[in-house]
Amino acid sequence: MSDKPIIAVLLDRLPEGCVLHDAEDLRPYECDGLSAYRSLPLAVVIPENVEQARLALQLCAQHVVPVVARGAGTGLSGGALPLADGILLSMARFNRILDIDVANRVARVQPGVTNLSISTAAEPYGLYYAPDPSSQIACSIGGNVAENAGGVHCLKYGLTTHNIQALEILTMDGEHMTIGSAALDAPGLDLLALLTGSEGLLGVITEVTVKLLPRPETAQVILAAFASVDAAGAAVTAVIASGIIPAGLELLDRPAIHAVEKFIDAGYPSDATAILLCELDGSSVDVGVQIEHVNRVFRDAGATELKVSQNEAERLRFWAGRKAAFPAMGRLSPDYYCMDGTIPRKHLARVLNRIETLSDEYGLPICNVFHAGDGNLHPLILYDANRPHHHR
């Protein structure tokens, strides 16, 4: 069918303001955080409730028009990239926290609720939501489920799939389904894990039940500086091999350190070739013992400087630098391409050195900032989309 019937039908059946179709109105939706790829949809539908979302899906199914669901658009994989012959379904107006069940440590939220808002709402009860992507101030929980997002604390507390209990979804035909349950373990196939990370291909999320955790008694961060990425990589392996699983264990190389310091002044040593941020949490006694142990491991691995956060403000400042690393790239380059791959921890130094070689070979600067504890790399390839030879 042509594009005119579906747009006309949507405009006719949905309330005013729910359907955008002028080119300039569509422009903000042409890509997600992966701006190297862009496409304008036929129209953008922004429903206000489940019935409107269901109707939009049913109409698109009847007219054989594809639909791409979108959360906050902060993803870096192109998961919210529109199709030129399809409809983009934005869930931005589904932004309410429906219930916080303190006794059972869960919260029911709509998909447009930001990641950080959940922990903020749960804070008065001594609870929080563990997955914390760098974009947590803006990214939506629906998008987190669609991408199976992690964050700097995923080493100990897992990804989104480990921290949700149930989903309410709509299929492409508009059928409502509940995946998971109020119980910790639902019978049958693990469809909840299947849906998590499926990027909207299997259903549009309309509600998420997330698990909440008690805030630890104590949390402190060790900032360790190293003169080489080889030493930093070896330190990561040594910490895990020693039997300690930190809450988070992140690595930034020299270009990333310099970008972050100019952007946010996190207190990172500018003369370091690489730094590690290692957070330990739990009881005060346990954290004290673990900090002493990890400091010894870092010194044995060749750390040139060690700092331990002395209060909550300093702990947050250390993490603020790591979480600001992606936006800090804007000071270095108009565009960047974020890679996302996981390698064995013991090969971290080898891969980082190879990345540096490729950076020199192709003349494209690369900053490395990533989840070192589980070997999840994020090389940020800096380029200028306005320079034709950078598109090779």
Q: What would the pLDDT profile of 133-178 be if each residue is shown by its tens digit?
A: 989 999 999 999 999 999 999 999 999 999 999 999 999 999 999 9
Q: In which domain, by residue range, is 172 found?
A: 97-214
Q: Nearest CA to 66 among 87, 39, 42, 40?
A: 87
**What's the rounded mean pLDDT across residues 5-29?**
95
Residue 164 and residue 25 share a domain: no
Two structure tokens written together for 219: 């949390």
On the 0-12 / 13-18 / 19+ scale of CB atoms within 10 A, 162 is middle
Confirm if 372 and 345 have CB atoms less than 8 A apart: yes
Residue 392 placed within a domain: no
Does the pLDDT at position 360 exceed 50? yes
- 285/152 same-domain check: no
Q: At what angle do helices 284-300 and 229-241 cross, to 10 degrees?
A: 140
Residue 259 shares a structural domain with residue 370: yes
Average pLDDT for 343-365? 91
Give me the chain's average pLDDT, please.
Answer: 94
More confidently predicted of 110 and 345 = 110
According to DSSP, residue 114 is labeled B
What confidence score (pLDDT) does residue 390 get?
Answer: 63
Q: Which of 214, 240, 255 is the last residue of a domain?
A: 214
Residue 391 has a pLDDT of: 54
Query: Structurally, how many domains does the chain consist of?
Result: 3
Whether 35 and 161 share a structural domain: no
Q: Which amino acid, one-letter code, is at 247?
A: A
Check pLDDT > 80 for residue 1: no
**Whether residue 224 sits in one domain with residue 210:** no
Q: Say what percent of the chain tops pLDDT 90.
A: 85
DSSP 8-state class, residue 82: P
* pLDDT, average across residues 179-198: 88
Rg of the Cα trace of the chain?
22
Q: Are residues 370 and 222 in the same domain?
A: yes
pLDDT at 349 over 90: no
Q: What is the pLDDT of residues 43-70, one digit of tens each?
A: 999 999 999 999 999 999 999 999 999 9
- Residue 2: per-residue pLDDT: 45
With 80 as the cut, is the pLDDT of residue 389 above it?
A: no
Which pLDDT band holds residue 392 (cuts at 50, 70, 90)? low
Query: What is the number of other CB atoms lying within 10 angstroms of the CB of residue 185?
Result: 8
Q: What is the mean pLDDT of residues 115-138?
A: 96
Residue where a domain stops, chosen among 56, 90, 124: 90
Domain stops at, among 187, 214, 241: 214
120 and 29 part of one domain: no
The mean pLDDT of 300-325, rounded to a whole number, is 95
229-240 residue pLDDT tens: 999 999 999 999
Q: Output the pLDDT for position 187.
A: 77
pLDDT attached to residue 213: 98
Question: Same domain, yes or no, for 150 and 209?
Answer: yes
For position 182, what pLDDT does the model report? 80
pTM attached to this predicted model: 0.91
Percent of the chain with pLDDT over 70: 98
Calculate mean pLDDT across residues 329-338. Answer: 89
